[in-house]
């Protein structure tokens, strides 16, 4: 069995474990920083494009509350998907989520100009286009949850400057859209044709920047500095997982937990069978024995973090596990036999039910408390 000390994989000091500081690759030409800045730029650009073009959509669909519908569709979908990412994101790769999200961004951004070219063509009142546009806004909200959650999470595993790059990029997206709004207002006339040209410009620029962000992000993983930190993260994760499966055996490997469980069950059966040979008739002594069994906790803890003699051998843990099963079987059998007999005959059935109730309460409490062993 082997155990390692706990470390924080997200601090600069822990990133240097096993490697001298001068071995960290240089971020040449600040390419990694620029890529994460571009990633942040692309995160909010699609939603800003939809919002900035709301004048054009309000012109096309005068009877619809375009801004309110867009806001609800975007934020509601993004919120629900973000909760799902929080709950299940650890089972997926941030790299995959970000690429999927950026692909969805591109799809949602292409919907408006393509639909305008082949279906809307500047015509007012074609509300089928409104429903499609609202759907594209919802897809953009899904993409936002995937990209923003993944990019912020990925940047959080790197030194602070990369998180700052993402945050600065999100602010830059708003500035870019504002500049585009100023440009279109100065260049295009504020009539139907001008609004249409402005909207197409917003979405065209957003598609181009999103494509650049996608290519840049996939290039980032080939940069030596990003590869270095990814390798450190993988090692830190492996160390953390090793700290959490409690005990392990280099000799028995995945057979070890099976042997321990089998040993516990066999000796639990032995303990419950021993009452047929000798029954401890003093209930107080039996209850005291149950309290004494709490000593198993520090003993097992000692096998995890105690002297090297205990940590490096399977025998102490195996013996303790078998004794745990033996005492559990014997004392459980003793108490279940004695308790109903201490009451009047008419209460024996009720006592048996109460015993079973507390047995299940103990099992449930033990399952909850066991998490503290891992933590």
Listed residue (6, 22, 2) closest to 14, CA to CA: 6
Residue 1 confidence class, pLDDT cut points 50, 70, 90 = very low
Q: For residue 52, give the H/E element and its range.
A: helix 31-52
Answer yes or no: do 319 and 183 share one domain. no
Answer yes or no: do 253 and 213 share one domain. no
Answer yes or no: do 285 and 331 share one domain. yes
Residue 105 confidence class, pLDDT cut points 50, 70, 90 = very high
Q: Identify the top-confidence range among 86-100, 104-118, 176-190.
A: 104-118
Question: What's the CA gap between 273 and 266, in Å, rounded?
Answer: 11
Answer yes or no: do 144 and 256 share one domain. no
**pLDDT, position 367:** 64
Q: Establish if 234 belongs to a structural domain.
A: no
Answer yes or no: do 106 and 196 share one domain. yes
Question: What's the CA gap between 273 and 283, in Å, rounded?
Answer: 18
Q: Establish if 6 belongs to a structural domain.
A: no
**Number of domains composing the chain:** 2
Answer yes or no: do 268 and 209 share one domain. no
Q: Establish if 212 belongs to a structural domain.
A: yes
Tell me the per-residue pLDDT of 261-288, one tens digit each, with 9 for 90 and over.
888 889 989 998 898 888 888 888 888 9
Listed residue (129, 127, 140) closest to 74, CA to CA: 140
**pLDDT, position 8:** 44
pLDDT over threshold 90, residue 355: no
Q: Establish if 348 belongs to a structural domain.
A: no
**pLDDT, position 203:** 92
Q: Establish if 11 belongs to a structural domain.
A: no
pLDDT over threshold 70, residue 173: yes
Answer yes or no: do 52 and 117 share one domain. yes
Domain that holds residue 55: 26-222
Answer yes or no: do 80 and 163 share one domain. yes
Confidence (pTM)? 0.60
Tell me the per-residue pLDDT of 64-82, one tens digit each, with 9 for 90 and over.
988 889 988 999 998 888 8
Answer yes or no: do 187 and 80 share one domain. yes
Residue 323 confidence class, pLDDT cut points 50, 70, 90 = very high
State the maximum Cα–Cα separation within the chain, in Å, rounded to a whole number.
Answer: 100
Residue 370 confidence class, pLDDT cut points 50, 70, 90 = low
Q: Establish if 272 belongs to a structural domain.
A: yes
SS3 content of the chain, % helix, strand, coil (to 5): 80, 0, 20
Answer yes or no: do 174 and 256 share one domain. no
Mean of all residue pLDDT scores within the chain: 81
What mean pLDDT comes out for the span 233-259? 65
Answer yes or no: do 100 and 189 share one domain. yes
pLDDT over threshold 80, residue 310: no
Answer yes or no: do 52 and 183 share one domain. yes
**pLDDT, position 3:** 37
Of 19-28, 92-101, 181-190, 269-278, which range is least confident?
19-28
Distance in Å from the first CA to the final CA of the chain: 19
CATH number, residue 138: 1.20.1250.20
pLDDT over threshold 50, residue 83: yes
Q: Establish if 260 belongs to a structural domain.
A: yes
Q: Establish if 375 belongs to a structural domain.
A: no
For residue 102, what are its two tokens?
Answer: 């950026």
Residue 375 confidence class, pLDDT cut points 50, 70, 90 = very low
């Amino acid at each position: 069995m082997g155990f390692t000390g706990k470390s924080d994989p997200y601090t600069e000091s822990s990133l240097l474990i096993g490697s001298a500081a001068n071995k960290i690759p240089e971020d040449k030409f600040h390419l990694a920083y620029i890529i994460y800045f571009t990633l942040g730029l692309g995160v909010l650009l699609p939603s800003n494009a939809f919002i900035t073009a709301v004048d054009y959509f309000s012109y096309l669909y005068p009877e619809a509350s375009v801004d309110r519908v867009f806001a609800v569709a975007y934020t509601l979908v993004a919120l629900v998907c973000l909760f799902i990412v929080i709950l299940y994101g650890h089972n997926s790769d941030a790299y995959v989520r970000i690429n999927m999200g950026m692909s969805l961004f591109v799809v949602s951004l292409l919907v408006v100009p393509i639909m305008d070219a082949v279906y809307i063509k500047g015509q007012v009142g074609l509300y089928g286009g409104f429903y499609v546009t609202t759907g594209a806004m919802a897809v953009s909200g899904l993409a936002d949850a995937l990209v923003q959650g993944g990019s912020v999470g990925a940047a959080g595993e790197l030194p602070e400057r990369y998180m700052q790059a993402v945050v600065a990029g999100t602010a830059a997206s708003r500035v870019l859209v504002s500049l585009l709004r100023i440009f279109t207002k100065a260049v295009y006339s504020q009539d139907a044709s001008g609004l249409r040209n402005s909207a197409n410009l917003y979405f065209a620029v957003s598609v181009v920047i999103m494509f650049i962000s996608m290519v840049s992000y996939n290039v980032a993983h080939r940069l030596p500095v990003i590869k270095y930190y990814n390798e450190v993260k993988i090692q830190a994760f492996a160390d953390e997982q090793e700290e959490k499966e409690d005990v392990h055996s280099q000799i028995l490997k995945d057979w070890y937990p099976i042997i321990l469980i089998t040993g516990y069950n066999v000796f639990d059966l032995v303990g419950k069978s021993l009452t047929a040979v000798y029954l401890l008739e003093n209930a107080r002594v039996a209850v005291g024995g149950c309290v004494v069994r709490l000593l198993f906790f520090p003993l097992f803890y000692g096998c995890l973090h105690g002297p090297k003699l205990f940590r490096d051998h399977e025998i102490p843990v195996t013996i303790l596990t078998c004794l745990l099963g033996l005492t559990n079987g014997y004392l459980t059998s003793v108490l279940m036999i004695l308790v109903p007999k201490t009451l009047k005959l008419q209460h024996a059935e009720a006592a048996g039910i109460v015993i079973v109730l507390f047995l299940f309460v103990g099992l449930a409490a033990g399952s909850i408390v066991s998490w503290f062993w891992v933590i």
